[in-house]
Chain A
Amino acid sequence: KNEVEQSPQNLTAQEGEFITINCSYSVGISALHWLQQHPGGGIVSLFMLSSGKKKHGRLIATINIQEKHSSLHITASHPRDSAVYICAALYSGGGADGLTFGKGTHLIIQP
C-alpha cells in the first residue's frame, strides 16, 4: 500500500516559535490533505492542496510534487495550536476513499 511518512512524530516548542511539520509520500497523488485533531478527538480539515501553497491565518501549507513532499507551517505559534496534525495523501486509483493517512505529529506549544 502507498505510504505517507510524517516527521517529527512529536514536537514541543515555545509560544511564538515558527513550526514546521513535514509529510512525504509516494508517486501518484492527486491531492494532499492537512488535518488537525484536538484532544477529545474531533478532526478538522485545514487544507487540501495539489500544487503550490495555501495560507489561512497563521497556517501555511506547501507541496512540492517533484520532491513528493509537503509541509505545514505555523507562524507565531500559540498554546491553542497544540494538537495532532495529520497529513493524508489522495492516491489516484487508491482504495475506497483513496486516502492514505500519516500517523500524525503531536505538537505541544508551551506558554
Chain B
Amino acid sequence: DVKVTQSSRYLVKRTGEKVFLECVQDMDHENMFWYRQDPGLGLRLIYFSYDVKMKEKGDIPEGYSVSREKKERFSLILESASTNQTSMYLCASSWGQGYTIYFGEGSWLTVV
C-alpha cells in the first residue's frame, strides 16, 4: 500500500517562528502536493512539485515556501508563522494527473 507520512500530527508554534512540515511518500510518485483545509473553504492547494527541485505555486502560496531535494520528501516551510496560518495541512502524492491521489494523515498547526 502507498504510504504518505507527515512528520507531525499536532504542532503549536508562536507567531514569527519558522515552521517545517515534512512529508514522505514511499511509492516513487512524481507529483507531491501541500494543501490546507479550513472549515467552509475546503481543500486549497498551497504548492505542487512535479519533480525533484521543481515546484509550482498553487492557489494560496503567500507566506509559504517548499523544498523538494529528494523525490520521496516534500517539505512545507512557514518562514514566519502567523495566526492566520492556523489550519490543517495535508500532504498528498500521485503518479500524475488522472491517477489516484494519496493523502497523509494531516498536520494540525496552531499558531499562537
Residues of B within 8 A of A48 (CB): 98-100
Q: A41-B105, A86-B42 are in contact. Are A97 and B90 (CB under 8 A)?
A: no
The answer to the question of B78 belonging to the interface, with a C-beta cut-off of 8 Å to chain A, is no
Contact with B along A78-111 (1 / 0, CB 8 A): 0000000010101000011111011110000000
What's the Cα separation between A10 and B33 when bound, in Å?
28
Q: A43-B90, A86-B43, A103-B41 are in contact. Are A31 and B98 (CB under 8 A)?
A: yes
Contact with B along A16-41 (1 / 0, CB 8 A): 00000000000000110101000011
Give how many A-B residue pairs fall within 8 Å (CB-CB). 62
Q: How large is the interface on B (under 10, 10 to 19, 20 to 34, 35 or more residues)?
A: 20 to 34
What's the Cα separation between A40 and B106 when bound, in Å?
8
Given contact pairs A41-B90, A43-B103, A104-B42, a sample of 19 additional A-B residue pairs in the complex whose CB atoms are under 8 Å apart: A30-B98, A33-B101, A40-B105, A41-B108, A44-B103, A45-B101, A45-B102, A48-B99, A95-B45, A95-B59, A96-B45, A96-B47, A96-B48, A96-B56, A99-B45, A99-B101, A101-B42, A102-B42, A103-B40
A residues in contact (CB < 8 Å) with B: 30-31, 33, 35, 40-45, 48, 86, 88, 90, 95-99, 101-104
